[in-house]
Structure 1
Amino acid sequence: MAPPFPCASTELDYPLYALDFDQEDSNRLVVGGGGGAGRSGVGNKITVLETVSQNELRVAGEIDLSRDEDSVMSLAIGGRKGKTSHIYAGVNSSPESIAKGKNEHLRVLGIEQSKARAAAGTKTPDSKITTLSRSSLFTDADADTYQRLLRIAGPMGVAATAMGKEPQVAIFEAAGIAPKLKGILELPREAEDLDIVQTGEKEFQIAFCHKYELHVVNVGKEDGEPRMVFAIPEDAAQRPVFRSIRYLTPTFILAAANLPKRSGIILFGFRLPTKANDNARLAVTARINRAISATALAVSNLSPPASLTAPVGQTQFVVAVAGNDSSISLFTLEHKLGGSLDLLTDLWPFQTLKGVHGNDNITGVAFSTFVDPKTHIRQQFIKLASISLQKTVAVHSIPLSKHIGKASRDKNGPPRPVRYVIAMKSRGPSSRGLIITLSVFALIIAIVGQGMLEIFVGRPPIIHAHKFLPSRYGTLRTPNHQPAAFLSQEFLSKLGGGDINTQAGETLVVYEGSEAAPATTEDGTEAVDSLKIQLDVHDSAVHGPGKAWEDLGAEQKEAWKARLKDAGAWTQNMGENVFKGILFGELAGAVGRAVAG
């Protein structure tokens, strides 16, 4: 099967742990990783990749880091100063340096584009990467501490520790070459993930999660204290665990949580509280019902505001959730304006990319920044990059389509707004499966009900249940539990030699009639006519008056039972109810035979 989107991929020579797109150049992707401090023979590197086309990805620059130091475990691209873009990376110092109490874990590197490429747009590997500064922000002196998480929003950045004895989050200014520490947050437990968003002029909010809890803290002119705004209820049948979080807007945050035993993923869209004592509220949710767990999460606004502090209008977000089975589940999420209230709706899937990196774990996903083009002529795309431990990088180009908003009621008003959305249609929750299931269930009940009516009540056959449930199999229709209507029909059929049909007003009579015999027998003697039990429509002139079963004497009843048994038309298990509604003629020698029996 052909891939749903164009894809460019390449393989590097070191395992990859972190990636980010250049916010000002959607064709530039930076990845990092390595073999760590040791003698594995695998270097520690940061590589700049360029998407030459939708099917070609090439190395545009690379820097080798010291093999005595740790690998690149976190990475983010900050703003640009002139022609130089800044890369912030988490790289632990060498074990010797850490043992001396010095760990310059936060590195700032610069990507400088050559004049030739800037002027002529050449496609040669011309990005020069240099180290600009090394900083130590954490105060935890534990030798196992390393910088696992790193996020940047405009001029502010946050980094979180892992493996240390004292979990911390460092807040720093990311405006210059050397980061300036703004403060340290002491955490009760290690953060599983964190993110930062700008909420106003020099005002920011940080969110972090661990296990079942989501916390936020305001940073700015007046720093606040971390507080829990949401906790997954303990009484949940399958209590999920937070894995990743990403801000959508200053009002909303999206979280990916893993269900126990790799039984699926739940996406939560939370409306964050505006008051100090309020809690976050669930705005939208979706579930991935596969035997997987999430390893990474990425979101992107397809109609980003002009600045980080500008309000977010009507727009669509695209969401990517990487699974441990090397799949990427893609969703769309609508942000709408409902009067004075912002709304999140329609968190719907539109595609699942399977086996993106073979059978390898995906360690990170990231979207490029999409900017509305000045002219709406060419097909537009947003790029989705993913990396794996097995050194592979893949970039999918997801096509977009124009979405034209409603026209203004004022004829002289502004033109209809144009924005972009995912070209592939999302699929909302469908009731088709439920309807089919209920229909099949109702059909089964109807069939079973009809079969029961045919077996026990004697309704006219439609499914002919008696053919599938014969009495000799000892099921519900055992000889002792035959329905009266069926037994009566069976009794009459045996007497008459086939199905018996009567007209309105006609009554059947059972009588002892003579059966014509041949003139002579085989030995030459004259044959005598024999008497045989017969069934016919009652005619008093032919059969006599006839009597109902209830009107027969005890001796006659016994005699009739004996004759009917001999004729093979009646058994004791049929009971006497089969005799009702028909007449019986005179039986010759009935009393004598009954006494003799």
Structure 2
Amino acid sequence: MPQPVSFAKTTLSYPIYAADFDPYGRGYLVVGGGGGESKTGTLLDVSNPAEISTSAELELSTDEDSVSCIANLASKDGLIALTGINSGSKDVEAGKNEHFRAFQIDYPRRAERGSPKKGKSKSPGARKEVEGRISLVSKTSVFKPAESPKKETYQRIIRLSPAKRASGGGSKRLGAIATGFAKESEVIVFNATTVAPTERDIVTRISPRRNAEAEDLDLVEQKDGEFRLAFATEYDVYAQDIEYDFNQRRPRKQLKEPEKVYSVPPPDTFEGPGRPKFRALRFLTRNHVLLLANLPSKKGAELLILKLYPNGTGEVVLRKRLARHVKATTGMDVCALDPDPVTGARQIVVAVAGQDSSVSIFTLDYHGTKSDSLSTFRAFSVTKDVHPFQITKIVLSPFHAPGSPPSSTSSPNSSPKKNRKEQEQQSKKLGRQHIHLATTSMGNTVVVDTLPLQPIPTSDKSTRYILSSARSSAIQTGASALVVGVVMLVCLLLFQSYLAITYPDSAIGQLRFDQYIPQPLRDAVGNLAPPGSRRFAVVHDVEDMITHPLDSRRRIKDLLHHLSSRSAAASSEPAAAVVVRPSEPDADSEHPDSASLETEVHPNEESVLRKDGDAKRWDQLSHREKEWWRRRLIAAGAWAVEEGETVLQGIFFSSFAGAIGDIVAEALR
């Protein structure tokens, strides 16, 4: 079973607006922000689930803007943090805004991580060598110079394509940035293998239609050198395919303009004014985009999965409305766990930050490249009041499964028990795996949750990981047990029907498996009927009644079933009315078991009442009359208690002009 979620919290000296994890999961988080006279970037060690420690910090110029966004590139001994920081107001007014900054982050030496006692034993000069360090590498301007009187353009968003697991350094990645508060909005894709992109490193410049600014964007690598960009404005989603040659530092072929793949439809007349607005966007797969939208007037939020088709269109294939307490959202992030090596199936974790400082975590299952489809959303957890102030950033750490090739002793001919044992031993050797979820706030707080993962076998007998809570596991187990139980019950009932039809006069044909079903359930099932159907039917139109002796060979239930079956085969389906009455008018009041019974089948209820005005339905009988009829029906073998009274509801009981009522009254006297 998975371990419970643990979290750690720390408070810094400034409001935090940006955060990003080490792309290779080495247990570090970079945050940045600022307020008033404090502009700072901080490296946090989050490898300990119970504690967050500061490994390095850099005070930024107070004349410049706060850190607005961060994306990390991995290096051998640390990170290259690409950030958005506006230049000072004087430089901006002069048309010089070096908003794109790159910082070198050196990690503390491993021998000193988490070991303050060892650090104290070092001399001051030696200790500086093992502490983490942040230093500015470059700053440049990538956006077009602002030409309006108010030059308020700043770098609001930065995203990098997912990092691939590589030894000794980073992978070849593309990056994208987008403007905020710009007179002329831009989305720029650049070669992220350089820390100071020049015009030659710009892959494409996109000017969104109607000068709409990008609310969010994301990149995914489909194959080596083949990428897909998607960005969302308030109401529209655009996508663009990019093929890039990193060696030549240019696109392999001329790029097409981004295509609009989805647009929020205008509201219906009855829905009121306003349309949902997109807040965040993330790729789930190369053909599936997850969108987070806030409903108008803070009426809630929803998640949408948009499927992209080769013809350049998109369709919303799934929606998920968030909980009622989430009136609006501030951010979202996803983490795709490791795939099955054969089928490509994998689990995807989704985290959403609410404006009420809540965090909702969901999981999705990608069924593999063959079906290219996703499951529905499954709730993992909802945590309220995570921060004292509004959440500014939510980010999930990337997950790279540890090397877990199939054991050399495993083979297709190995027994399942042996393979499971080998997988368990391999999982223990690799240790527990987890992902981190970090949230930051305007209240200077950072909260990091550690979400433990559970290993499961894959198609090639190796191991992959999923996020599974104890509650979801219990629900899944209970659902499986319920399905098995229902299937067994249906099989028993079918077997009972087979015996009753094949051996009607033998003891084996009288076996009653349904007596073990609770009476309320039997009554409920007995009352079920398709809409428009009739409970009983006769064989054909008849003008006169048909009389049958009622004994142990002809049970009421079998008679009704017989009539209904034959009527279904006939062309007409008139309503039937069955009457049960004593064979002799003079029934023994003290010994009702001695009275014989017979049935009459009438074409309809009117025929019954026309012939016998004293005939009553079961629910019209008094308690005493019902007791008398129960005893008589049981004695005649026409009905058993375990069959329930449902079968008696549609039958008329006749007392020969009140004879049974007189007998009951005499018995009472």
The TM-score with structure 2 as length reference comes to 0.59
Aligned to 1:565: none
- Is the alpha carbon distance of 1:181 and 1:405 closer, same or farther for their aligned partners in structure 2, counting shifts above 3 Å? closer
Take 1:404 and 1:323, find their aligned partners in 2: how far apart are those partners? 35
Residue of structure 1 in register with 2:310 after alignment: 274
Deviation at 1:7, TM superposition (A): 0.6
| Cα offsets for 1:397-456 (capped at 9, x unmatched) | 1121111235xxxxxxx5x2321111315479x9x9xxxxxx9xx9xxxxxxxxxxxxxx
Do the aligned residues in 2 keep the contact of 1:304 with 1:371 (CA within 8 Å)?
Answer: no
Aligned residue for 1:34, secondary structure, equals strand
- Determine whether 1:146 maps to 2:146: no
Residue 72 of structure 1 and its aligned partner are, at CA, apart by: 0.5
- Give the equivalent residue in structure 1 for 2:222: 199
Please give the secondary structure, in 1, of the residue aligned with 2:27: strand
1 CA distance for matches of 2:228 and 2:51?
A: 38
2:324 counterpart letter in structure 1: R
The amino acid of 2:227's aligned partner reads: F
Is 1:60 the counterpart of 2:105? The answer is no
Q: What displacement does 1:204 show?
A: 1.9
Structure 2: distance between partners of 1:26 and 1:395: 14
Rounded Cα–Cα distance in structure 2 between residues aligned with 1:64 and 1:461: 91
Specify the alignment match of 1:346 in structure 2: 376
Deviations 1:459-487 (CA, angstroms, capped at 9, x unpaired): 6799xxxxxxxxxxxxxxxxxxxxxxxxx
Q: CA deviation at 1:332?
A: 0.4
Q: CA deviation at 1:123?
A: 4.3
Paired residue secondary structure (2:92):
helix
Describe the SS at the equivalent of 2:432: coil
Q: Any residues of structure 2 matched to 1:133-532 within 5 Å, and which?
A: 133-141=138-146, 142=148, 143-153=151-161, 154-179=172-197, 180-188=201-209, 189-220=212-243, 221=252, 222-235=254-267, 237=271, 239-275=275-311, 278-291=312-325, 292-303=327-338, 313-337=344-368, 340-358=370-388, 360-374=389-403, 375-377=426-428, 378-405=431-458, 414=460, 416-424=461-469, 426=472
Q: Which whole-Å deviations, capped at 9, do the CAs of 1:514-563 have from their partners, x for residues lacking one?
A: xxxxxxxxxxxxxxxxxxxxxxx9xxxxxxxxxxxxxxxxxxxxxxxxxx
Aligned twin of 1:552: none
The separation in 2 between residues aligned to 1:304 and 1:21, in whole angstroms, is 21
Alignment of 1:114-133 (within 5 A): 114=108, 117-118=109-110, 121=113, 123=115, 126-133=131-138
Task: Give, as a single letter, the amino acid of the residue that structure 2 aligns with 1:233.
Answer: P
CA–CA separation in structure 2 for the residues paired with 1:123 and 1:369: 26
8 Å CA contact 1:212–1:231 kept in 2: the answer is yes
Q: Name which one, 1 or 2, has greater alpha-carbon Rg.
A: 1
Query: Can you give the 5+ residue segments of structure 2 that lack an aligned partner in the other structure?
Result: 117-129, 162-171, 244-251, 404-425, 483-523, 528-618, 624-657
Counterpart AA for 1:381: H
Separation in structure 1 between the aligned mates of residue 114 and residue 260 of structure 2, nearest angstrom: 51
Residues 200 and 372 of structure 1: is their aligned pair in 2 closer, same or farther, counting only changes over 3 Å? closer
For the Cα contact (< 8 Å) 1:363–1:388, is it kept in 2?
yes
Partners of 2:308 and 2:343 lie apart in 1 by 15
Check conservation: 1:218, 1:225, Cα contact below 8 A: no
The code of the aligned residue for 2:103 comes to L
SS of residue paired to 2:376 = strand
| Counterpart amino acid of residue 111 in structure 1 | I
Listed as ranges, the gaps of 5+ residues in structure 1 are 407-413, 433-438, 443-457, 463-501, 507-536, 538-597
Q: Which amino acid is the alignment partner of residue 63 of structure 1?
A: L
User: Which one-letter code corresponds to 1:85 in the other structure?
Assistant: L
Match of 2:25 in 1: 25
Tell me, what secondary structure is at the counterpart of 1:131?
strand
User: Does the Cα contact within 8 Å between 2:25 and 2:400 map onto a contact in 1?
Assistant: no
In 1, are the aligned partners of 2:96 and 2:145 still within 8 Å (CA)? no
Q: Deviations over 1:303-328 (max 9, x none)?
A: 1699xxxx981100010011001111
Q: Tell me the CA shift for residue 248 of structure 1.
A: 1.6
Alignment partners' CA distance in 2, 1:69 and 1:361: 24
Asked whether the equivalents of residues 284 and 344 of structure 1 are also in contact (C-alpha less than 8 Å), the reply is no
Question: Taking structure 1 as reference, are residues 198 and 505 closer, same or farther at Cα in structure 2, changes over 3 Å only?
Answer: closer
Shift of 1:52: 4.4
d(CA) in 2 for partners of 1:505, 1:422: 70
The whole-number CA distance in structure 2 between the counterparts of 1:71 and 1:120 is 31
Task: Pick the structure with more helix per residue.
Answer: 2
Which residue identity lines up with residue 181 of structure 1 in the other structure?
I
SS of the aligned residue for 1:53 comes to: coil
Q: Distance in 1 between matches of 2:660 and 2:374?
A: 72
1:99 maps to 93
Query: What is the one-letter code of the residue matched to 1:289?
Result: A
The answer on whether the counterparts of 1:140 and 1:166 sit within 8 Å (CA) in structure 2 is no
Q: CA deviation at 1:269?
A: 1.4
Partners of 1:13 and 1:113 lie apart in 2 by 22
Q: Which amino acid aligns with 1:56?
A: E
* C-alpha contact (below 8 Å) 1:286/1:348 kept by paired residues: no
- Name which of structure 1's ranges 145-154 and 341-350 shifts more when overlaid on structure 2: 341-350
State the distance in 2 between where 1:399 and 1:178 align: 37
Separation (CA, whole Å) in 2 of partners of 1:302 and 1:368:
10
- Aligned residues: CA RMSD: 3.2
CA change 1:32–1:505 in 2 (3 A) is closer
Inter-partner Cα distance in structure 1 for 2:93 and 2:131: 38
Question: Following TM superposition, by how much is the alpha carbon of 1:30 offset from its aligned partner in structure 2, in angstroms?
Answer: 0.5
**Structure-2 separation of matches of 1:175 and 1:127:** 23
Aligned-partner Cα distance in 1 for 2:202–2:44: 30
| Residues 343, 368 of structure 2: 8 Å contact kept | no
Paired letter, 1:353: T
Amino acid at match of 2:434: F
| Distance in 1 (alpha carbons) for counterparts of 2:339 and 2:13 | 35
Q: 1:368 to 1:26 in 2, by over 3 A?
A: farther
- CA distance in 1 between counterparts of 2:7 and 2:278 reads 30
1:95, distance to aligned residue in structure 2 (A): 0.6
In structure 2, the CA distance between the partners of 1:287 and 1:504, relative to structure 1 (3 Å rule), is closer
* Cα distance, 1:170–1:233 mapped onto 2, change above 3 Å: same
CA distance in 2, matches of 1:28, 1:193: 24
**CA deviation digits over 1:42-83, x for unaligned, max 9?**
x11111000241110011101111110000011110232x32
Determine the C-alpha separation between the residues in 2 that align with 1:210 and 1:312.
34
